[in-house]
Every structure is written in structure tokens, then in C-alpha cells.
Structure 1
Amino acid sequence: MRIDPAAISRHLRRGLVRLRAVARRRPYGVVAACLLIFLLLSLAWPLPETADPQTNVVSLHVTDRSGLLLREIRPAGRGRPVPLEAVDPSVRAALIATEDQRFYRHPGIDPVAVARAIWSNLSQGRIVSGASTLTMQVARRIRNASHRGWWDKLAEAHLALRIDLRWSKDRVLAAWLNRVSYGNRAHGIEAAAQLYFGKSAIDLTLAESALLVGLPQSPTRYNPFRHLDRARERQRQVLRAMASAGDLSSAEADRLATLPLDLNEPRHIFRAPHFTEWLRVTRGLDDPNRARTGPGHSQPVEVRTTLDARLQHTVVQLVRSHVRRLDNEKVTNGAAVVIENRTGAIRAYVGSADFWNAEIGGQNDGVRMRRQPGSALKPFTYARALDARLHTAASVLPDIELNVPEAGGAFTPTNYDGTLHGPTPLREALANSYNIPAVRVAQELGAGDVLATMKDVGLTSLDRSPEHYGVGLTLGNGEVRMLHLARAYAGLARGGMLPGLRSVYWTRTAQEDTLYVSPRTEKAMDLSPGAVRIITDILADPFARAEAFGRHGPLEFPFPVAAKTGTSKDYRDNWTAGFTPTHTVVVWVGNFDGSPMRRVSGVTGAGPLFHAIMSHLGPGGAFRDPTRAGLQSVDVCPASGNRPGAHCPSPRSEWFLPGTAPAATDTCTVHRRIPIDRRSGLLASDDTPADAVDQRLFTVYPEKYHAWMRDNDVPLPPRVTHAEARRNDDERAWQKTNRLQIHYPLPGMNFHVNPVLHDQFQQIHLQGTAPTTWHDVHWVVDGERLSVDYQTAQWRLSPGRHTLHLRAIGPDGTRYRSRSAPIVVHDMPKTAGWSR
């Protein structure tokens, strides 16, 4: 029978009239009556605000761009309140049989259970039994008291009576099922069903219902993820209680207790773990003070992110499979991020190959971790040089020996392939990722300008001084975050406009208010659209990078893609970054513990993974017409960077910023036809018979390249005529005394030993020349003869002062010695020596 508060009030008014008469005869009875009346009146007190369903633990759902659930986050745990109709009836039966078999026959407290508990506790001399009904357990959670004494028990009983006056029994059951903790931060039967079985509460089987109903008694002790045997024993207790209550037979209870449980793996709790964890930390999604938002500080219930769950799943699988293929190369991890260029929206975010694998540090986030990017920074250095009008894409850069003085000494950059390529157009230098030309350009700009450029494109983790990085920063000796690098490359894709990265579209509150997140403001790079467009054209040019990367490799696609690789020193980090007009993709492979890989390059390491992701994304359209960026196309000779001359064999077109193209009169002087006397191979003179003259084509580079030309069998034209050679004794004497020469190292040069690099990068190639008719040509270093071929000799750098000579024996048995070349080798380098 339900109690009507209005009826109570009417009876109380009548009772007050009678009390006046009784009070004169029985004063003690009046006191007792007053206490009873006070108790009855107190039942009319309103319920606490915490009884409001809105105060239930409600999950904050982090969803992908289409609404697919990625993760549930809440300071107090997961919770998804559902009506009793959305719960399988077996849950109700299991709950009542286990916790409160007289639930439908008491008014919130059970006098029979109280009496039984008192007798049991007195007979045992200690508390062995409680008398909490389901309604009292709901009251306990509404009160949320930090301790429980006798007063708290009385307060819970009083609140239970008030709840029973106002709520139906079904509402009490729903409140219990939606409020209790089922362990692992799951609050409510729906959240528990999803967590442990991956299904809704309406779809639970009887065996599953029995397991879940048993968990709230001690969620930690019965945690099925850690103590499945204990959880199964508790399940058997619930099934036996149901059999005792007549809900099923004993045989059926025993059978259900033996059925296997299809429990979820703990790792299936959420998708995109690194991404959602990043949001949880940066947006305070598990901090009640930061999570509440909007009018009246409403409770958020959904955060709609920019992530594409389908793409995320594909990228995760590609990263994992690629890392497995590189297992023999000592690669244990990889990371990737995909950004939509137009909006800056993050579409995929994979922080490691396996979030749940502790052996590889899977919960480290490679997208946010600071790592050395290698040559992936070179495009920004070259873009700055183009904008500063120091060079054009056709400029010829010296890829020859270079010694770089720095604050702490000097270092000698080398190319990834260990080869010097001589005069190299800027287009090929960048596309093939040659280190020496990049360092030369950085020297021209200065370390301060290079660092300022990197910060301007959003690489804010480069927080040290220019002196700390030096010009080696262009080779990637500073540490950057993948997310920042991706934004910088997206800026190139957008013609020099950095996007504001977006991770969230909107937040929805418990009051159904949708609060949109304003896009972050885009920022212009301090690089002109024209310079950016030229860099994009170079990075998308498969012919320009063919010498180092070959054709039809992982950087080549059937649609326009601009891409750049990067490898840090000692093969610790390998990158590929690139973009189409639509998407930017950056990938990394390596090891979180910093251990080196086994000679993994951009082509074999990150490149194939980049190719797989970009191929899945598909064509992103055509890059912007260069003429729209104000660029001018001019035919040039690649050997000189000037307009083609009459003898240039392979001119090509190149893009130039306004005012930087060579004038029509600036023609190539590198390719020349020179008259040669075929009888001697020397210059023809006026006395040379016409039938003895050959007009031979020579490539005549400036003198600084002549040593490289000799080493690479690039013929130099003769200096004298046949007649002059015969007449000029001084010239012949000059040739004789200067035939034994040291070309590298030059006297007075400084070198630096880097203890981090392999031995192969701590050597210099000794270069010298001697006549072919001389024998026993050899190098002498500090008085010690090197027992190697003088033409291929490599000398291991050793700190200190050293003196080098080249010695040989002439045809007449005379011993000759070149001029000495004193050098200095310093210890403790300032920066890395190579990158790609």
C-alpha cells in the first residue's frame, strides 16, 4: 500500500485537536506522540538535489567526426543511464534475489531483515550481517557520505523511507542499476555491459547478468579482468540466490555457472587511445572543473572530434604491419598523423605501433614526442634562401668538401651516400637531400635566420639558442614534434599559410546544448607563396630526386604528391613527410628507447609506410598553377643556372620568383667548344694545321671544382698549346715540380670528432695527384706511411695536430715529396655530421 503525504497531513491536524485533551492527563505519552509526529513530518522533507537523475555519473563520449564512439571519459568513471525497460529482465531478477528478496513488500527498510541482522550480530558478538535494502543502497549513493557510522545508517534508513514515499519500485531499481560501480570506472549497468561484454544491457544473457549483478559488492575484488576466478565464484553465488528465490532450478543455476564468458579484452575499452588521451590531458576532460562548460557550467556528455575512425583504423593496421616487416632491421615502433589541409582537422593520429605493448613503450606518444627530424627541415631552409634572393631553383651549389667552423670547433658534413656530387643545381640538391649544399645555404643565411625560419613555420619545440644548434639545424639536429612538423608541411601545401590545427568540432551538454569550438586562427608563414610553390614543385619532382632515390619508389605516385625524407644521426629516427593539395601525412619509424636501427633510410624505413597511407587517401587534386603565385618559367642550362648557350646539351625550364630569372644576355659559359691539336691533345694554335684541329666540347666549371673534376674523371681543357709546351722551359719546370700535389685536406684546415657518429663518418678522403709514370705513390701522416692506395685513402680523424705529405718515386729513381699540409682535429663536436 502506498503512503499518501496529503492523507498524513489531514490525520495530523485531527490528532492535534485530540492531543490537547490527552496532554492534560498523560504528559509522557504526549512527548512520545510528538516525536512520532516529528518523524512522520520529516518524511515529507524533499529529497536531496543529488537524487536528481542529472547528477548521475554520465559518460563523456568522445566520438569521431561521424559520431562513432572512440572513448568514454568521466572523472568518476563511465556511466550511461538507461530506463529499466532497456535492461534485460534477468538483471532485475538476479538483483532482487541477491540483494533484497522482500523488495516489493517493504517501505524502503525491511523490519524482518533488521531483526535478523540484530540477532545475528548479537549472537556472534560482532557485525556479520547488515540489513540494507536496495532502497537504502540507493540512499547511500545519494548521500555519498565519506564515512559510515550508526548515525549514517539511520540517515540512510530515513532517506530510504522518503524515497519509497515518492518513487515507484521500478524507479528505485533503475536508480540502483544506473548508480552503482561495477569496477574499472564503469558506473551503471549499461556502461558495465558495454565494458565487459561489448553489448547493451538489453542484450545480456542470464549468465552475464548474474556476473554483473555480483560485481558491485566488491568491484576490485571481483574485477573480471584481473580476478576472473573470483568473479565466477561470485556469479555462482548470484545464480544460487536466484535458484533459492525460485527464479530458476538448481540444475539450471549449475549449468549457467559453467558456461564460458565472452569477456572483452581490456584494450578494447577505447579506440584511438593516443588521440583521446591527448584530448583528455589537454582539455581536462577528466577534471570536473575544466570539463564543465557552457551556460550554467553544464555537464558535457559528448565531444565530437575531427578524427575519422575508419581512416584511423586503416592507418593503425598499416603502421603495425610495416613495423613487423622491419623487425629484422631493429625497428620496434612507428607513428603517423594525417591532417586535412583546408581545415587543419586531424583525421588520423597513431602514436605507436601498439598502445598496449609495454615492451616497446607503446603508451608513449610518437605524435607528440620530441625527436630529431633529419633532413625533413631542409625545405624550409631552401625556401628562406629563395625568398632572400640568395639563390634560385637553378642556382648551382658546390657539393664538395666543406669544413664548418662552429662555436665549439668545427664539423665536416657528409652526404648520405658518401659521395661528392660537385656542382649541383639547387633543385637536385634539395630533391636528393644532399647535406653539403644544404649546410652551405644555411651558412649564407646564418644560424639565427635558420632558427627563426623554423620557429616561424611552427616548430616551437626548438627552444635553444642559435649557437646551440648552429647551421646543422638544417640537417635536423634539433628535436621537433610530429604534430608541429605536420602543420608546417600543411603550411607548404596551403601556399605558405599555416592552418590552425583542429581536434574538436563541438561539445554537447547534458541539457542538449551544442557548443561549437571556434577554429584556431591560421597563421601566415614568413615565406612568400612563390617560394613555397617552388619548394613544392621540387618536392613533387620525381626526375629531380632520381639520382638518390631512383624512379618508381615509395615517394612516387600516379598523382601529384610532394614528399621529403629525413634520417637522424646514427639511424635513430626515420621520417617521411609530404602532402597533396588535400592531405598532409607525416610518418616516423624508430625505437622509443633511442636505440639505433640497422641502416634504415627514408626509402626503406618510413617511405613505404608513407606511400601506403597516401595511396589509401588517394588523389588530392593538382597543385596550384605556379603562374598564379607570380612565378616565371625560363629555360636554363642546369650546369650553370644561366640561359642556355649555343653548346648546352640539355637545357630545361625552371621556375623563378619575379626579378630573379637570368637575363637574356646571361648565357651559359660552362659548356664550351675548344680547338684541340689532335696530335698532342693540347690547345690548337694559329700554327696548327686545319686538318689537325678538333673542336671538342668541354664542361668548364670554376676552379674550385677542378679537384672534384679530376677525382671524377671530368676532363679539363689543356692550358697551353703544343708549341708553347715545346718552347716554354719554365712551364715544363712548373709542371715537373708541381706534379705531386695535395688537394685535400688543405693546409690549416680544422676538423672535429663527433663521438656519437659511426667510424665511417669520422674519416676524411685524402686527395692528391701524381704523374701516371711515377710509382710508389703513398701518403705519410705524422711520419707514418699509410699502407693503402693513395687514390682511395681514408684517414681516421684523431684529436690533435697532424702533418700530411704525399711521396713518390719518379721515373729516374728520384724521390719526391709534396708540400706539407698541417691540420688540426678538435674533440667534442657541436652538431651532427650527416642526414637525409
Structure 2
Amino acid sequence: MELMTNQRFRKSAKIFRALLFIGLIAAAVGMLAYFLLIGYVKLLGPPPLAVPQSTLYMADDGTVIGESHNGQKRYWVPLKEISPELVKATISIEDRNFYAHSGFDYKRIAGAVIADIKAMSKVQGASTITQQYARNLYLGHDKTWRRKIAEAFYAFRLEVNYSKNEILEGYLNTIYYGNGAYGVQAASQYYFGKDARELSLAEASMLAGIPKGPGIYSPFASLEKAESRQETVLRAMVSKDYINSRRAEKAAAEELVLVGQHREILGQAPYFQDAVRQALKNGLGLDDRTIELGGLKVYTTLNLKQQEMAEQAVENMISKDSEIQTGFVAMDPKTGHVKALVGGRSYEESSFNRATQAVRQPGSTIKPILYYAALEQGFTPATMMKSEMTTFRFEDGTADYTPHNFNNKYAEGDITMAQALALSDNVYAVKTHLFLGEDVLPETAKKFGIKSEMEEVPSLALGTSGVRVIEMANAYSMLANGGKQLDPVLIQRVESHNGDVIYEHKPDGEHVLQPELASVMNHMMTGMFDENLNGYASVTGSSMSDKISRPYAGKSGSTNTDSWMIGYTPQLVAAVWTGYDKGKPIELPAEKGYSKNIWLNFMENALKDEPVKKFKAAKGTVGVYINPENGKLATEGCPVKVMTHFIEGTEPQEYCNEHLDQHHEGEEEMHHEKREKKPWYRRIFGR
């Protein structure tokens, strides 16, 4: 008997040792498999978390002006900007052990497996927040074992590569809350008309209960079921010690104000938004899907007040019966920031952007660029040339060219460049252009940031090669800022869906124009409003001169089919084009004045509360009074005197001798006082 007992004992020991050995091998294999899985997951790297989200466009004050999406409302908000009550409510009802497990709640899984076996089908879920997030990102919602295994794998990858807070933030921003609202921000706005960070305990507990069955527990599907689910959430929060029973009872009894409407972003400044999208695509190299569904936050340069003023000016100044169209751009000349942009009278009727896409003849608005080039070649505001009907003949076979002034009026004598610009004399401009060489103006235009191609022909001096409105606004901005290089800036900063800055504009500020020449041009361009420069015709801004409240520099321009007005102060530049889309001639007098009226209305309103700033004389320039009739230094007896700025040393030295009835000595003394004072050493030793 004893022998048999020993044999059984030895046999049991062998079986135990075998089982122990097999168990150790299995454990070793399991550990190896686990570490191999971790290594494989690490090798794969973190799975992408990107989901389609609305891209938001913001004005310069942070106001949302528009969005893009695929019909689903999605807005990503950081975890710290989500109500703590909602976070706690979600964890309590969806995954109470979220911070304790490694992606799987094995106790819940075991219970779900038993229920499924009893029912012989997949009837009960035990998914953690991590598993649900994995399903939302990568998988469908079918209840199959194959999908469940894939879900577990992705959940494991998430847990290995991301922190708990990153997973929770992603889950809350992707879970479906019904009625087209994905994520807590869209849901908070839809159900309660507020941001996720503003939710109360009552609102948070109601919202946290919806994802289990949006078609059942939405208060708009069944308020009774929604409130019952809310109480379940609150009890879960009590059991988790997030709140006490008293707070739960109070929250359950609170009467909620439900909105049931998505926060619609009306889409202000649609032409501007289109231009921003093009800048994202062409300037930053982003693809269409990223722009539309990447959840970007695009901080633009748009000033909402100025945009409204621009749109109002267009609406008020163009007759409703007219088919005239317009392109408008306002810029800050110091930064290049586009503050307002109008691409047409009605975006709904035509989305063609006439501010950035239309190429139209600039007419005489090209002349300041021409005359800047002339200043570089030694011209001065007092340089005289004859204004008379002139036919230009060329030895290279180019056809004869006869430019005409407005109404065929000419001085029939010499005029200064300052007066030629103020009166917009075409003969003077063509003579200057041909004297400099036909290649000079196109090359100078490039320095002014104009990228449109220009044809080297005599008529180029009168603006016969097409340009874009935004290019001209940019060119004049470079004069206004003293010659610093600019490109029109529409976007200040772009952030990804998780708040990373993927682009930020950094100004360079390199001088490409000579500051002293830009200063001379600024002062010379105030002449279009100065009726002291009237001659054989009135200055081109005479209709506005009694309506302006501050010094402006500018230039108008017109062709048979185009009407322009571009003008500026040191703070703001605005460029306006009006005309017919199909190039139909502008014939009605009222239509010819639309561009000036829009410009004047906008500038006066936009600068109403801004300080009046004059154009400062740059270092190396000097201002003297001249007689505009002959370009000489004005004397006491001259009937008209105009303060004119020159590069120091190029100002006229000869006094006007046409009014000899005054004492010459007194005249000379007066005009020496009128000159801007030179440094003491120059007064003593000369130049």
C-alpha cells in the first residue's frame, strides 16, 4: 500500500513539474511575445490622430470670419479648454478605470465575453475610451470579432505611443454626439450654444450621456430618456467620488436651456477668404484636403471694421442699376497687411475676385512709378518739358504714336514734373518714358513688387499693360513706407488642429527704393489735391480737395474701360478699380467717378478716429517754395507758391524774375527762410 502511495506521489510530482515547466515556457513565450509586440508597435511609430475637422479663419482681432468643412461640424479644443465637469462625467460613464488600465479593462471584457457566449452573438461592449478612440479613428462600428481584434491592436498602439491626456483629448474631440456634431466643442455649441469650457455640471452630465446612443439619448430625440441617462451619469460621478449626492440632485433638477442649432459662421469677406485659401495653397504649399478638412486655425490680417467700411462704400457709391464692377484693396503700408478686400459687388452672383485675379489697364496710376524712375535718373519735381500735341516717330519701324491729354487740352508750353503729375499730363509722361528708355519702367515696376508682365511700348507710360489691384496697392504702399520691400500679407499665422504653429509671417523690411526719392514722390503726389497746381486744367483731385480732412498722396487713372483711384496716408493705402468685366467702355460721367467716390468715402471713414499724420521729409531732402508756372524759386510777388521737396542739392537755385515789382532783397530773404534749415556747418561752409 505504501509503495503504491509513493508511486502516485512521484507521478503527481512529475505532472506538476511538467505543468510548471510548460507554464514557465508559456510565460516566457508570452513575455517574449509581449516585448516583441511592444517593439513592433514602437517600430510602427505613433498612429496618426488626424480626423477631418473644420478649418477656421480669423480676423486680426481673433473673430471667426469663416470656416470650411465637409458637412460635419468638427472643432478641436485642447483638454484644458474643456469643462472639467464634462471630463469627469465622461470618464465616470464611459471608462471609470481609464487612468488605471493600459487600454483594456479585463474585468469588463470578461463580463462582455460571457454575455456574448450566452447570446451566441456580439451583444455587449466593454470598450475603454482608448478602444473607442481607436475605432473612431481607424475602424468601422460593425460588431465583429475581427474588428474587435483590430481595435485592440490600435488601442495598444495608442497607449504605447501617447499619454492618457492626449488619448482623452482626442476621444473628446472625435466622439459623435448626434445631429452632425463631432467632438465636445461642436456638441456644446449645438446643444447649449456655448463653448465646451463653459458647460455646467448639469449640461456636462447631459452631454456625456449622449454618445452611447445619439439617436436615443439626445434631448431632441427624447427628453425623458436624455434626463434618465443624465441621472445615470450623475450617479456614476457620485460613485467615483467626483461629486457628492447633493450636487448630483441639484444638477438633475436644473432646467436646461437647449439651443439645437449649430453656430453658423456667416462667412464675412468671402473674396478675402478666397484669397487666403489661394495663399495657403500657392504660398504655403498646403493641399486642398488639409485646407478644407485639416482643422487649421488661420489668423488673417483682415480688419473687420475697415472691411465693413469698404463694402459699405462700394454699396453706397455705385448705383444699384449699374453693371459696373469693382476691385478694392486696403493695406497697412508699414506691414503689408491687407486690412480690407472687395473682389466684386456680389459674391453670390460672381465669385471672380477682381482685386486679386482681374488684370486691368492701370492708366495714369502707373505714372508715379515712372516718375520715381525719372528721379533716379536725375529728374526733379521742377524738371520742365513742353506739353503740346506731339507725334512720336521711331527709326526702328515702330508705328507713329500720338498721345492725347484729357479733352485734348495742353499747356502749349513747358510745365514741371510736379504739375504734370498733378494734372496727369500724358505728353510729359510719354516723353519721360522714351527719354529713360522703354525698358526702364518695366524694370522699376518689378522693384515695386508688380509681377504682371509689361510690354515695352511708348504707351506703357499711360498704363496700357494690365496689372492687378492688389499689386498696385502694394506698389503705392512701398512709397508710403519710405521704400521698404513688401508683399501683400493676408495671413499672420497658421496653427494645426492641435495648436502647433505651422506658419508665421516674418517681415523683412529691406529697402529696395531710395528713401529720399520715395519721400520726394510722396510730397509730389499730394499735388493731385493741391489746387495751387492748377494750370491749363484742374488737378485731378479737385473734386475731392474740399472733402478731405487730412493730407493724402495719390493718383487717379482712367482708360476707356477702366477707372482707378489709389491714395494713401502714412497709415493706410487704398486702391480702387471700377469698370465692366467684359471691357465695355465707361461712358456715363457718374460711372467715371465711382472709383474716386469709393476711395474717398472709405479713407475718410477708416481714418476718422486716427491721428492726422503728414508725410515726413526724409533725411537728405529739402523743401522750398517754387512757382509752379516756371519751376523757379517763388518770390514775394509770385501769385502762387507751392512747397516742393527735392533731393538736397537738386532744388532750383534761380528765383522767379517775372514779378519784379517787389523788392528783390526782401524776396530773397523770405525764400531763404522758407527753405528747411540746413545744419550749421553747411550754412557756414556750404555743401
Q: TM-score, normalised by structure 1?
A: 0.56
Report if aligned partners of 2:191, 2:260 keep a CA contact under 8 Å in 1: no
CA distance in 2, matches of 1:178, 1:258: 23
- The DSSP-based 3-state class of the residue aligned with 2:349 is helix
CA distance in 1, matches of 2:403, 2:187: 59
- The DSSP-based 3-state class of the residue aligned with 1:177 is helix
Q: Which residue of 2 aligns with 1:157?
A: 152
How big is the shift at 1:259?
Answer: 6.2
**Where do 1:583-594 residues align within 5 Å?**
583-590=572-579
How big is the shift at 1:448?
Answer: 1.7
The superposition leaves residues 360-390 of structure 1 with CA deviations (integer Å, 9 ceiling, x where unpaired) of 316x372465443222111122233344345
**Aligned partner of 1:566: which letter?**
G
Residue 242 in structure 1 maps to residue 226 in structure 2 = yes
Residue 564 in structure 1 maps to residue 564 in structure 2 = no
Residue 535 in structure 1 maps to residue 524 in structure 2 = yes
**Residues 395 and 55 (structure 1 numbering): CA distance in 2 closer, same or farther, change over 3 Å?**
same
Q: Which residue of 1 aligns with 2:249?
A: none
- Within the candidate set 435, 441, 447, 2:426 is matched to 435
How big is the shift at 1:200?
Answer: 0.9
**Where do 1:257-656 residues align within 5 Å?**
261-268=260-267, 273-274=273-274, 276-282=276-282, 284=284, 286=286, 307=301, 312-325=303-316, 326=318, 327-341=320-334, 344-346=335-337, 348-352=339-343, 357-361=347-351, 364=353, 366-367=355-356, 370-389=359-378, 392-393=381-382, 395-400=384-389, 402=391, 409=399, 412-417=402-407, 419-420=409-410, 422-423=412-413, 425-426=415-416, 427-461=418-452, 463-466=453-456, 470-499=457-486, 518-525=506-513, 529=517, 531-532=520-521, 535-539=524-528, 541-544=530-533, 547-549=538-540, 551=542, 553=544, 557-571=548-562, 574-590=563-579, 599-601=591-593, 604-616=596-608, 618-625=610-617, 628-631=619-622, 633=624, 635-636=626-627, 638=629, 640-641=630-631, 650=639, 652-653=641-642, 655=644
How big is the shift at 1:577?
Answer: 1.9
CA distance in 2, matches of 1:412, 1:213: 81
**Aligned partner of 1:453: which letter?**
T
Report if aligned partners of 1:576, 1:607 keep a CA contact under 8 Å in 2: yes
**Residues 644 and 392 (structure 1 numbering): CA distance in 2 closer, same or farther, change over 3 Å?**
same
Q: Which residue of 1 aligns with 2:669?
A: none
How big is the shift at 1:569?
Answer: 3.5
Report if aligned partners of 1:643, 1:664 keep a CA contact under 8 Å in 2: yes
Report if aligned partners of 2:473, 2:566 keep a CA contact under 8 Å in 1: yes
CA distance in 2, matches of 1:33, 1:636: 104
**Aligned partner of 2:507: which letter?**
P
How big is the shift at 1:585?
Answer: 3.0
Report if aligned partners of 1:94, 1:242 keep a CA contact under 8 Å in 2: no
**Residues 409 and 152 (structure 1 numbering): CA distance in 2 closer, same or farther, change over 3 Å?**
farther
**Aligned partner of 2:389: which letter?**
I
Q: Which residue of 2 aligns with 1:700?
A: none
Aligned residues: CA RMSD: 6.1
How big is the shift at 1:317?
Answer: 0.9
**Aligned partner of 1:330: which letter?**
E
CA distance in 2, matches of 1:440, 1:389: 15
Considering only CA atoms, is the larger Rg found in Structure 1 or Structure 2? 1
Report if aligned partners of 1:315, 1:350 keep a CA contact under 8 Å in 2: no
**Residues 366 and 516 (structure 1 numbering): CA distance in 2 closer, same or farther, change over 3 Å?**
closer
The superposition leaves residues 456-502 of structure 1 with CA deviations (integer Å, 9 ceiling, x where unpaired) of 322122x2541xxx122222222323343233222222444445766
Report if aligned partners of 1:334, 1:366 keep a CA contact under 8 Å in 2: yes
Report if aligned partners of 1:339, 1:348 keep a CA contact under 8 Å in 2: yes
**Residues 365 and 39 (structure 1 numbering): CA distance in 2 closer, same or farther, change over 3 Å?**
farther
CA distance in 1, matches of 2:602, 2:439: 32
CA distance in 1, matches of 2:42, 2:221: 34
Q: Which residue of 2 aligns with 1:80?
A: 77
**Residues 416 and 601 (structure 1 numbering): CA distance in 2 closer, same or farther, change over 3 Å?**
farther
- The DSSP-based 3-state class of the residue aligned with 2:479 is helix
- The DSSP-based 3-state class of the residue aligned with 1:447 is coil
Report if aligned partners of 2:333, 2:570 keep a CA contact under 8 Å in 1: no
**Aligned partner of 1:622: which letter?**
K
- The DSSP-based 3-state class of the residue aligned with 1:477 is coil
The structure carrying a bigger helix percent of its residues is: 2
**Residues 335 and 351 (structure 1 numbering): CA distance in 2 closer, same or farther, change over 3 Å?**
same
Count of matched residue positions in the alignment of Structure 1 and Structure 2: 607
How big is the shift at 1:527?
Answer: 8.4
**Residues 643 and 285 (structure 1 numbering): CA distance in 2 closer, same or farther, change over 3 Å?**
closer
CA distance in 2, matches of 1:320, 1:644: 45
Q: Which residue of 2 aligns with 1:178?
A: 173
How big is the shift at 1:560?
Answer: 1.8
How big is the shift at 1:358?
Answer: 3.1
**Residues 166 and 114 (structure 1 numbering): CA distance in 2 closer, same or farther, change over 3 Å?**
farther
**Aligned partner of 2:445: which letter?**
M
**Where do 1:212-223 residues align within 5 Å?**
none
How big is the shift at 1:154?
Answer: 0.9
Report if aligned partners of 2:382, 2:632 keep a CA contact under 8 Å in 1: no
Report if aligned partners of 1:60, 1:74 keep a CA contact under 8 Å in 2: yes
The superposition leaves residues 593-617 of structure 1 with CA deviations (integer Å, 9 ceiling, x where unpaired) of 7666663336655433443355346
**Aligned partner of 1:281: which letter?**
K
**Residues 658 and 32 (structure 1 numbering): CA distance in 2 closer, same or farther, change over 3 Å?**
closer
CA distance in 2, matches of 1:400, 1:60: 59
**Residues 167 and 624 (structure 1 numbering): CA distance in 2 closer, same or farther, change over 3 Å?**
closer
**Residues 150 and 358 (structure 1 numbering): CA distance in 2 closer, same or farther, change over 3 Å?**
farther
**Aligned partner of 1:449: which letter?**
V
Report if aligned partners of 1:402, 1:436 keep a CA contact under 8 Å in 2: no
5+ unaligned residues in a row in structure 1: which ranges?
1-17, 219-230, 292-298, 670-836
Q: TM-score, normalised by structure 2?
A: 0.66
The structure carrying a bigger strand percent of its residues is: 1
**Aligned partner of 2:306: which letter?**
V
**Residues 348 and 527 (structure 1 numbering): CA distance in 2 closer, same or farther, change over 3 Å?**
closer
How big is the shift at 1:144?
Answer: 7.0
**Aligned partner of 2:566: which letter?**
A
Report if aligned partners of 1:564, 1:577 keep a CA contact under 8 Å in 2: yes
CA distance in 1, matches of 2:322, 2:624: 44
